[in-house]
Structure 1
């Protein structure tokens, strides 16, 4: 490639004109080469990378699972299925590794952004020595777009003021439409276009669903790109929130699975395993490992719960089929443009194994379980809400047993990086003009860090040595291109470490040494062993495909050899120190990461919104006051003054039919209301809510008082409160409420008038006159400059 040396330094340095400079452009000796638009080498393909969320190896029908995915099956018939492709076992880490071609700890993403620490392998800050794939492609002449989930931005950089260097549009993507959290409400997503917050164009009642929206946007962007710059190839990264919890799906998709899971997860696992053998995605002589005792047997489930659990799986299956359908629409659009044959497609069906974060019984509201209140969702509670599961009033997740079945034939689940159930996901590669093989299976060991080198190889592009003046760390993955037309080629990815939240393992030439340190549904209050006390297992996956036979006692020397190798790799890739803390890492002060807001007061202004929980002072588990100055233009005021959270939990100070009201939503399990007894008259007013926390620990209740211009107009009681987190991506908004509603009591969301400012005060006893004077607010404003 004649221009390879130039492409090794990005941006490609401009070449100054070195010919004759004439005085007059009409001079016949005047000559300049024509401007040539930047393009990648001849034959560089379009690239579509599809990354589905929280799908186990044994979920989709294309890999033998019970969830119908006909579009993925079509893609596999025309391409290749990889049955030994691996991820990191958790979402942020897998995505950072995918886009960089480096191990997740190398790029600072040892777990998820919300748990970042000061350690280099855990700080969530991709080094500038590791330029991401989309930036490399953009600087070589590709058009680039990301649609869907981006869970790689450090949490202290996710506010509306950035900085935006690590947002998608600062990381090589020219266009972004999606969300920044680990999950989002499929009916009320917290969306951005570029760095600008946007709202869905329809309501759930009007048929809105995020997966369909993302497909529509992808189709529109691809069509526009090919209409305007057909000579440029595109790189599209499509990462829907599906099928991560909440398992939101239009009703008809789930109903098509009625009754199909009534026999339970143990039977489903056996049936899936049989199909996988017939398909050839697992060897016919491999064994199905026993279900671990921590996962209940279906026969031990109480009869009253079985219909609830079966419906959970129906919803999940419908969700995956719905996702498959809309991914298929994007592929159809590429085919309609007659460029499908020139498009390299990666369909990675799972950024990790299926999720066991929904608890042993599943949940109607995932936040209840995550924060340790799962016992409040009794069987009677879940049965009463069976018809609402999967809809806009729910935030549901299925039970651990289904997650285990979705990872058939492997042990364990998402987060468990030690075992294949957490890391192995089915992957399809489709590129008609790139290789001749069709409908075949590839069994070479590969990892998500191999995608970026493969795309560069397919495009004929070198891995750059310098990007933006910074010398680059070499990519740590290997190109998979050698496997495209060679089923029997020896694998080139011979060694790979795994680590996630203390769960760890090592693969080396078919051998695996692994240790499970924790289980995913034991996030709160779980006693963990010392790392040195963890029990390691040894498997020869050359002959034991499913890690069914532990050889650690028979071959201790081999186990010790691999343990040493894991330690060498861990030191090499920033894995150390190991960190299994959970609650401590959610606290920025103990974790050592920056905190956007400090102190006991915060001043917000009208029009501010899309402020996630990292952008607002934390008022949980403490007394506080919310004061707002509003201007009422007419005789009857309505709308939200300020709100935080949504259906999963939160609070709202609002006006209904002219009267101030306050609602506290405790996980959707209870909503507590306090209403004023005086209406707002036209003009300027202060509306204030004071919350006197009971104290005595987390999640306690408190007394609420409402004030209008310093005079008490209402009081009431909140019996219990949310201790840690209202939601994954619901926000705080002034003058309206974005996302899902804290309460359905609103007459309207948008405040009919003006909210001038909102002041949040933490602690008891502030402003004993229950009124914020102008000079007090001015002092606060000056203090935060």
Structure 2
């Protein structure tokens, strides 16, 4: 080959090698934008919603989007929250027991910076620095951390707010509740770290929380290559009863059969769906006698329940909007979605609810509730309500969807293990490949209490909890180990008595076994005592004395 041909051949080789190098450089440069292996995470929480209040858990309320998640994912029959708004949120977001975080009772009120602070670390009323939030942990693992909705973990001082506890963006209410149409004053809106105002004539918190969630998710996709963690914390269906007429009209008149019949119908549907086992009995009715109400009262109670149902319906519509955005952007398959409620249905307001009936169906009112009688139906088939730690107070639906990782053969199935709130943090750390710290910003961090739910989500039969798990709220106490649950209701320190139930046979806590199996009562009560001492539980009679003395001084 002559020199001219060699030169030409070398030029051709150089051209192809240069072009190939450019392609490799471009592939390497573009890879982070298109190949994100870590899943996005969407954690959705409802507020004061009962165990049987959505379609895929036996309800007549229309929730097609949650039902869709359940049919393309997996459901837990036995998952537990913390019986009340603040303790649940504290435990959910830290992976610890609420007392360990500083919220052993509730977080401080907007109106009172010292409320629920009883002078001990376990009862200071806001998150301490010995815990880390999911946002703080996932942020250190390369996630953009987003939140929209209810915070309720500390109000007085911005150092207690979401942006200072690991979130990159936030919109919502810092307090525990507000009027859905007109959030204002101390219970108004916050955008990032600043006061915000409701916009538009048809402002509605459930819609607005969703608007910002979608906006934040879009901005994440457009502005950076990080996976996102979105905590979407609705206030629905927490009182006040506020809903749009178009949503209320779907349910008006459908509840004139009364709460007894509604419980019976839901109970039958739950058994048919496999949500509860055939051996479960319906707990005793715990409300007013429907047949003794006047026609006017029946009409009012139908209206209250219709509004409550409309609030859940609207929440589901909005969850559908988020799912549509993820689907449209091609992110749905690799997004882990979890949905749960913060406590059982709320019985506050007495048997027939609270608030003026004249405010029903309007944009007025703050303290409007549907009452204990309907709450009893919402918690079908269980005993008790929000505040208590019987199954009706702490049982929540848990729906998990993750199309990329959950086998299609598991779609619509149920997990056979039980879990509780701290497991959420452990699970998200697991799927994100994150590391839970021993120290953070110069503070020693308490050891994580939860266990990853990933084996259960992927259909494995291994037991999640081989150790006891515990609850305490307002003196109401419980411990579960295996199928046995020990529980007591606080009445006063001299009359409290432990009750023992075998949940494999008696999930609705009808047959008390305490006198039949005293050794199990002793074993579990001793375990509870050690735990209560470890986390700093105050005897509730001491809490009541503290509050009484505080009120006298004021």
- TM-score, normalised on structure 1? 0.63
Structure 2 match to 1:479: 452
Gap change, CA 1:587 and 1:173, over 3 Å in 2: farther
1:312 aligns with 2:304: yes
Structure 1 residue aligned with 2:271, among 273, 277, 296?
A: 277
Q: Deviations over 1:547-581 (max 9, x none)?
A: 12111222223222222221111112222343575
1:460 aligns with 2:433: yes
Gaps of 5+ in 2: 1-27, 109-115
Structure 1 match to 2:126: 125
Structure 2 match to 1:47: 41
CA distance in 1, matches of 2:240, 2:533: 37
Q: What is the CA-CA distance between 1:112 and the residue it aligns to?
A: 1.3
Structure 2 residue aligned with 1:433, among 377, 390, 404?
A: 404
1:549 aligns with 2:520: no
CA distance in 1, matches of 2:316, 2:94: 26
Matches within 5 A, 1:72-471: 72-114=66-108, 115-153=116-154, 155=155, 157=156, 162=157, 164-189=158-183, 190-202=188-200, 206-229=201-224, 231-292=225-286, 295-348=287-340, 350-364=341-355, 382=357, 385=358, 388-395=359-366, 396-417=368-389, 419-436=390-407, 437-471=410-444
CA distance in 2, matches of 1:123, 1:484: 35
1:539 aligns with 2:531: no
Q: What is the CA-CA distance between 1:465 and the residue it aligns to?
A: 2.2
Larger Rg: 1
Q: What is the CA-CA distance between 1:589 and the residue it aligns to?
A: 7.3
Gap change, CA 1:300 and 1:239, over 3 Å in 2: same
- Cα pair 1:445 1:493 within 8 Å, conserved: no
Structure 1 match to 2:4: none
Q: Secondary structure at the match of 2:160?
A: coil
**Greater strand percent: which structure?**
1
1:498 aligns with 2:493: no
Gap change, CA 1:45 and 1:280, over 3 Å in 2: same
CA distance in 1, matches of 2:505, 2:460: 18
CA RMSD of aligned residues (A): 2.3
Q: What is the CA-CA distance between 1:129 and the residue it aligns to?
A: 2.3
CA distance in 2, matches of 1:93, 1:440: 30
Q: What is the CA-CA distance between 1:71 and the residue it aligns to?
A: 0.6
Runs of 4+ deviating beyond 4 Å: 34-39, 579-584, 586-591
CA distance in 2, matches of 1:577, 1:36: 59
Q: Secondary structure at the match of 1:426?
A: strand
Q: Secondary structure at the match of 2:528?
A: helix
CA distance in 1, matches of 2:552, 2:381: 39
Q: Deviations over 1:582-628 (max 9, x none)?
A: 6963986779xxxxxxxxxxxxxxxxxxxxxxxxxx9xxxxxxxxxx
Structure 2 match to 1:64: 58
Gap change, CA 1:245 and 1:37, over 3 Å in 2: farther
Q: Secondary structure at the match of 1:223?
A: helix
Structure 2 residue aligned with 1:573, among 500, 520, 535?
A: 535
CA distance in 2, matches of 1:443, 1:578: 34
Gap change, CA 1:587 and 1:431, over 3 Å in 2: farther
Q: Deviations over 1:77-120 (max 9, x none)?
A: 11111111101100011001111000111101112113232122
- Cα pair 2:56 2:70 within 8 Å, conserved: yes
Structure 1 match to 2:547: 585
Q: Deviations over 1:16-36 (max 9, x none)?
A: xxxxxxxxxxxxxxxxxx999
Q: Secondary structure at the match of 1:75?
A: helix
Q: Deviations over 1:253-282 (max 9, x none)?
A: 111112211111111111111000111111
Q: Secondary structure at the match of 1:176?
A: strand
